Amino acid sequence: MEKSFSSLNVITAMVTAFDSDEKVNYEKTVNLACHLIKNGSDAIIAAGTTGESPTLTHDEELNLLKELKQSIGDKTSIIMGAGSNSTKTAIEMSQKMQANGADALLSVVPYYNKPSQNGIYEHFASIAKCVDIPIILYNIPGRTGVNMQPQTVAKLAGEFKNIKALKQSSPDMDYISELKELVDKDFTIFCGDDSLILPMMSLGATGVISVASHIVGNKLQQMIKEFKLGNINKALEIHLSLFPLFKKLFMAPNPVPVKEALSKMGLIENVLRQPLTKMNDCELKEFYSVAEKYID
């Protein structure tokens, strides 16, 4: 990566655009990425959970990387989701992403099989030994079923130079304090939940890996800059103005609401791959009662 993680305020965990027949629409995905980097995003993540990675094939993920690199690789950093609950698969995909030009990797804690802390350590250690590009660890216990402890993160960061950052998706603020005591100052923490950006930043997080930035990227960028300049009240004012949207974007499983909003904005078709389904009429009414004022 040309820029260090610590210089990135807003990274968008980007959705994947599909056609009506559920095939990946690479052109619209690239166009969306262009829109994002013009509207507040410092970098993008493709083929993450928000990109519906559980239902993407590995070939589709690699094709996404190739298309993004070819079109916007000179404009922004492209971070690729390369995690798996199979260590062997995670290694293979991480190596392929590196070989095809990914600037960095997002690698999630193994899900469903619920490894021990030692198992989590060995999983990420095995990946880090096989690639050279930066790795963002991704801790999201609500989806994986297991919480990677701060001590495990610190051990990995201390032993592997390419483990550079953590995306933390949990409301446990003590976790951030414990981790900051254990890691070097150059280790970067990203908030993984839009509604928790300011609380996490007050404890040492650098910025956000965001879903809301699809819609309000410039506002998020402004909020984070105000906070870093010491204009806390202004940052809080922006947070409170965006908070209703933050909550409504997760009233249904991510990325269902944000894809609905992006469709309304004319950027993609509102197509999901099963088992995800669109919001029903009652949910749509509730969603737009809040979201309408944020959508241009």
The domain in which residue 219 lies consists of 5-241
Q: What CATH number does residue 20 fall under?
A: 3.20.20.70
- Give the pLDDT of residue 4: 85
pLDDT digits (tens, 9 = 90+) for 59-68: 999 999 999 9
**CB count in 10 Å sphere of residue 108:** 24
Which bin fits 242, alpha (ψ -120 to 50), beta or left (φ > 0)?
A: alpha
Considering the chain, what is the average pLDDT of its residues? 97
The burial class, CB within 10 Å (0-12 / 13-18 / 19+), for 222 is middle
Rounded CA-CA distance 291/286 in Å is 9
Question: Does residue 2 surpass a pLDDT of 60?
Answer: no
Cα–Cα distance, 54 to 51 (Å, whole number) = 9
- How high is the pLDDT of residue 3? 66
Catalytic annotation, residues: 138, 167
In a domain, 259, yes or no: no
Q: Is 91 contained in some domain?
A: yes
Summary count for the chain: helices (H), strands (E) = 12, 8
Backbone φ and ψ of 56, nearest 5°? -90, 145
Task: Give the strand pairing for 77-81 and 43-46.
Answer: parallel
The answer on pLDDT for 123 being more than 80 is yes
- 143 vs 109: CA distance, rounded Å: 9
Residue 264: other Cβ atoms inside 10 A: 16
Please give the DSSP secondary-structure letter assigned to residue 18: B
* Structural domain contains residue 73: yes
Beta bridge partners of 139: 168
- The encoded tokens of residue 239 equal 């947070």
Hey, what amino acid is at 32? L
Distance of CA 255 to the CA centre of its chain: 12
Cα gap 288→20, rounded to integer Å: 23
Q: What Rg do the C-alpha atoms of the chain give, in angstroms? A: 18
pLDDT in the model for residue 134: 98
Nearest to 217 by CA among 261, 251, 187: 261
Domains: count for the chain = 1
pLDDT per position as a tens digit, 169-222: 999 999 999 999 999 999 999 999 999 999 999 999 999 999 999 999 999 999
In the chain, % of residues over pLDDT 70: 99
DSSP classification of residue 44:
E
In a domain, 293, yes or no: no
- Does residue 256 lie within any of the structural domains? no
Residue 260 lies inside a defined structural domain of this protein: no
In a domain, 265, yes or no: no
- Read off the DSSP letter of residue 24: B
Residue 283 within a domain:
no
231 — pLDDT class (breaks 50, 70, 90): very high
Q: What is the pLDDT of residues 239-263, one digit of tens each?
A: 999 999 999 999 999 999 999 999 9
pLDDT single digits (tens) 21-33: 999 999 999 999 9
**Where do the H-state alpha helices sit in the chain?**
26-38, 58-72, 87-99, 117-128, 141-144, 150-159, 173-182, 197-202, 213-228, 232-248, 256-264, 281-291
Question: What is the Cα 15 distance to its own chain's centre?
Answer: 10
State CA 154 to chain mean position distance.
21
C-alpha 201 chain-centroid distance: 16
Locate 13 and state its tokens: 């965990």
pLDDT number for residue 17: 98
